[in-house]
């Protein structure tokens, strides 16, 4: 948010408001941790809910004037709430829960839909206490606590146990629990957290196929593209090692990385990145506002991540008409059709990753052929319209 955004706050409701819900239509609350995500990727869903006769309100802890204006254009109201997305202070969470409980009790919404770990933990609990009749939750991914392999830590194990306990208590109250991949759904069903008949698997947030038009993959030279935060859990270190291996056999092949490091403790250090920045076949682009030009100039999308919900960057690549090389892990598996397009590689294995990249680099006709098949998959399975239909069906149970 800019300084001007902070100085002139948009007119929105706050949790402290005491007016009841006098609208004759049923109230539908969408509760999350990121207003920008909802505006960018779920506007079609919000619009459909509003057209279906609901009084739709979005509850988030963040706010910006442009996003609120976008919601208002859809006929949706924004309510700013107190909620720490990543904090672990139980007193803060209890205070947030109590304020939400009072808001739900006073407004009497018909339905509450929460997405993300903290909004589910606080929002669904508040809705249960307030007696909201219809509850829904969405887990786009299970997060770092559920990453398999590598070094385990006491903190990760504690977080996993706590999350499973919280989910078991709260998700059982939901009519639908929405997942972005089957592996996450199957894991929580196997742990007795949710019943199978509660669950719905949707194809991510959906891709606007007009905004991401298809083009034939260029193959002279072959360019691999990674898009994402430069985190260890995204497989960035393995990708850089694979690029070094690949350079020996295919020196003309380029590996492009679009993304930035941040304060996350899993970020790859600047020293590690600098060690590879001088190599002729590795190109860092930093944070990119619009990834479409890079996708258009790439040949293959690569994401050796340790775990995903359903990688949006990968879906954007499919829509552009690019085949993919991804790790054989939850979430990533969903964007490969074995024998049609894409390759799955063992996680945390730079040698296997380099081998897969080499196979594609040496077969440009395959890159083009699989890219066309990838676009067809995007049209059939991952389009914005198809995903919104899936979401509406899940939220009208």
- pLDDT of 6 reads 37
- Domain assignment present for 1: no
Does the reported pTM lie above 0.75?
Answer: yes
Q: Is residue 215, in this structure, part of any structural domain at all?
A: no
DSSP secondary-structure letter at 208? Answer: -
Given CA atoms 119, 181, 307, 371 in this order, what sign does their dihedral have? negative
pLDDT at position 4, please?
Answer: 38
State the pLDDT at residue 19. Answer: 37
Output the CA–CA distances (angstroms, integers) from residue 372 to 22, 127, 214, 259, 323, in the order listed.
52, 46, 8, 26, 8
Which residues have CB under 8 Å from 147's CB, separation 6+? 156, 233, 306, 307
- pLDDT (tens digit, 9 = 90+) per residue, 337-376? 999 999 999 999 999 999 999 999 999 999 999 999 999 9
Is there a single domain that holds both residue 334 and residue 389? no
Do 64 and 34 share a domain, yes or no?
Answer: yes
Distance of CA 142 to the CA centre of its chain: 11
Q: Is 302 found in the same domain as 190?
A: no
pLDDT tens digits, one per residue of 294-309: 999 999 999 999 999 9
Residue 178 lies inside a defined structural domain of this protein: yes
Neighbour order of strands in the sheet with 13-14: 13-14, 77-80, 55-60, 27-31, 111-115, 134-139, 176-179, 199-201
Q: Could you give the number of structural domains in the chain? A: 2
- Residue 105 domain-assigned? yes
| DSSP per residue, 37-102 | HHHHHSHHHHHHHHHTT-EEEEEES---HHHHHHHHHTT-EEEE----SS---HHHHHHHHHHHHH
351/314 same-domain check: yes
* 128: β partners: none
Strand-strand pairing, 343-345 and 223-227: unpaired
User: For residues 257 and 235, is the Cβ–Cβ distance under 8 A?
Assistant: no
| Residue 139 CA, distance from chain mean position | 9
377/388 same-domain check: no
Tokens of 25: 């239509």
149 token code pair: 């392999």
**Both 272 and 235 in a single domain?**
yes
- CATH number of the domain bearing residue 357: 3.40.50.2000
Residues of the chain with pLDDT under 50: 1-24
Same-domain status, 344 and 364: yes
Q: H or E stretch including 199?
A: strand 199-201
Q: Are 200 and 268 found together in one domain? A: no
Give the other-Cβ count within 10 Å of 150's Cβ: 12
Rounded CA separation 221/361 (Å): 9
Q: Are residues 318 and 358 in the same domain?
A: yes
Q: CB-hemisphere CA count at 13 Å for 95?
A: 11
Residue-level pLDDT at 159: 81
pLDDT value of residue 220: 97
pLDDT for the residue 353: 99
Contacts of 154 (CB under 8 A, 6+ apart): none
pLDDT computed for residue 22 by the predictor: 38
Question: Does residue 12 lie in a domain region?
Answer: no
In whole angstroms, what separates CA 177 from the centre of its chain?
16
Both 178 and 289 in one domain: the answer is no
Whether the upstream peptide bond of residue 188 has omega within 30° of 0, thus cis, is no
* CA distances for 354 relative to 5, 304, 325, 335, 346, angstroms: 46, 11, 10, 20, 11
353 half-sphere exposure, CB direction, 13 A CA radius: 31
> 14 lies in a domain?
no
- What pairing do the DSSP bridges indicate for beta strands 254-258 and 282-286? parallel
Q: Is 287 in the same domain as 374?
A: yes
372 and 389 both lie in a single domain: no
Whether the Cβ atoms of residue 76 and residue 55 lie closer than 8 Å to each other: no
Could you give the CA distance from residue 117 to residue 281 in angstroms, rounded to a whole number? 39
Structural domain boundaries, residue 296? 223-381
Residue 189 forms part of a structural domain = yes
- Is 234 part of any domain? yes
Which two tokens mark 17? 């408001």
């Amino acid at each position: 948010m800019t300084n001007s955004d902070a100085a002139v706050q948009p007119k929105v409701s706050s949790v402290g408001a005491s007016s009841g819900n006098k609208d004759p239509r049923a109230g539908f609350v969408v509760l999350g941790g990121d207003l920008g995500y909802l505006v960018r990727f779920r506007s079609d869903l919000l619009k459909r809910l509003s057209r279906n006769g609901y009084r739709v309100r979005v509850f988030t802890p963040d706010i910006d004037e442009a996003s609120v204006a976008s919601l208002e254009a859809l006929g949706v109201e924004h309510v700013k709430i107190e909620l720490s997305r990543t904090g672990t202070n139980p007193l803060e969470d209890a205070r947030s829960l109590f304020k939400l409980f009072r808001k739900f009790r006073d407004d009497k919404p018909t339905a509450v839909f929460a997405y993300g770990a903290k909004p589910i933990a606080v929002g669904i609990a508040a809705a249960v206490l307030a007696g909201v009749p219809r509850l829904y939750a969405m887990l786009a991914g299970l997060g770092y606590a559920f990453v398999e392999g590598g070094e385990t830590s006491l903190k990760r194990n504690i977080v996993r146990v706590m999350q499973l306990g919280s989910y078991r208590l709260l998700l059982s109250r939901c009519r639908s629990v929405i997942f972005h991949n089957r592996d996450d759904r199957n894991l929580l069903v196997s742990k007795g957290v949710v019943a199978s008949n509660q669950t719905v698997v949707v194809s991510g947030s959906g891709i606007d196929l007009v905004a991401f038009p298809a083009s034939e993959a260029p193959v002279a030279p072959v360019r691999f593209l990674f898009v994402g935060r430069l985190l260890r859990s995204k497989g960035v270190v393995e990708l850089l090692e694979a690029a070094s291996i690949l350079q020996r056999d295919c020196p003309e092949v380029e590996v492009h990385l679009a993304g930035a490091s941040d304060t996350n403790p899993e970020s790859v250090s600047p020293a590690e990145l600098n060690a590879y920045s001088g190599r002729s076949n590795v190109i860092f682009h930093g944070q990119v506002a619009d990834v479409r030009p890079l996708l258009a100039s790439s040949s293959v999308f690569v994401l050796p991540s340790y775990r995903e919900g359903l990688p949006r960057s990968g879906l954007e690549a499919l829509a552009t008409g690019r085949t993919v090389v991804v790790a054989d892990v939850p979430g990533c598996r969903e964007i490969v059709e074995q024998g049609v397009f894409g390759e799955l590689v063992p996680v945390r294995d730079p040698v296997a990753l380099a081998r897969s990249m080499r196979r594609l680099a040496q077969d440009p006709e395959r890159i083009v052929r699989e890219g066309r098949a990838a676009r067809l998959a995007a049209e059939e399975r991952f389009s914005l319209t198809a995903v919104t239909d899936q979401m509406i069906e899940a939220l009208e149970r």
